[in-house]
Amino acid sequence: MAVLPIRITGDPVLHSRAQEVEEIDESLFTLVHDMEDTMSAAPGVGLAAPQVGVPLRLFVYNWRDEEGVLHRGTAINPQLLISPPPVGVPDPDDESEGCLSIPGERFPLLRSRTALLRAVELDGKPYELLVNGWLARIFQHEFDHLDGILYADRLDDAHARAAQRTVRRRKWGVPGQSWLPGRDHLED
């Protein structure tokens, strides 16, 4: 398989709603395996198809929890139901997240603690997962990508301004920028 370039914020594919997957075919198998290789090389715990320039409603995830249990899969045409997010200020130690499309940055963000994911796996079988904690955060983050939302779009005012300064400083925020995991080293 192959490691694909990851689009950086500002690319139109990241800021538009992705299209439903119409058919699970050989090209989709190849895309999913390439996305898994890309996520591993980055490294990341989730990757949505728009992040590699493909406007389809699809994401992959691969995360090991505190007990050592591996949570890995593909979500095709997902639906996500979430509990109401908590009210308050996010904890910068426990509630910060990053994004491969805003590489090297992390900001605190409140997310719902529980999520119900309904999707189709690569074998064509539908499934449903009720998850809590960090996996719920991963699902919300990746699902947002499918609707053209980056986590920086959800930050409170102070952190949103810091994220915008970073984007300006790095000269991101324009179409056509990407980085290749394993090859590109992004510096401040």
Instruction: Give the CATH number for residue 10.
Output: 3.90.45.10
Choice among 97, 121, 142, 187 that is catalytic: 142
**Would you state the pLDDT for residue 188?**
41
Assigned domain for 71 exists: yes
Assigned domain for 36 exists: yes
Total domain count for the chain?
A: 1
What is the side-by-side order of every strand in the sheet holding 114-120?
A: 46-48, 58-64, 70-82, 114-120, 126-132
145 is an annotated ligand-binding site residue:
yes
Residues 6+ apart with CB under 8 A from 181: 3, 6, 38, 41, 42, 43, 100
**Would you state the pLDDT for residue 146?**
98
Assigned domain for 67 exists: yes
Print pLDDT tens along the chain (188 aa). Answer: 799 999 999 999 999 999 999 999 999 999 999 999 999 999 999 999 999 999 999 999 999 999 999 999 999 999 999 988 888 888 888 889 999 999 999 999 999 999 999 999 999 999 999 999 999 999 999 999 999 999 999 999 889 999 999 999 999 999 999 999 988 765 44
**Would you state the pLDDT for residue 8?**
97
99 is an annotated ligand-binding site residue:
yes
**Would you state the pLDDT for residue 186?**
58
DSSP string across 155-186: S-HHHHHHHHHHHHHTT-SSTT-EE-TTT---
Our answer to whether residue 142 is catalytic in this structure is yes
**For residue 66, what are the domain limits?**
6-179
Q: What is the pTM of this model?
A: 0.94
**Would you state the pLDDT for residue 185?**
62
Assigned domain for 119 exists: yes
Q: How far apart are CA 84 and CA 86, in angstroms?
A: 6
Assigned domain for 103 exists: yes
Assigned domain for 186 exists: no
**Would you state the pLDDT for residue 101?**
97
> Tokens 């538009």 map to which residue?
16
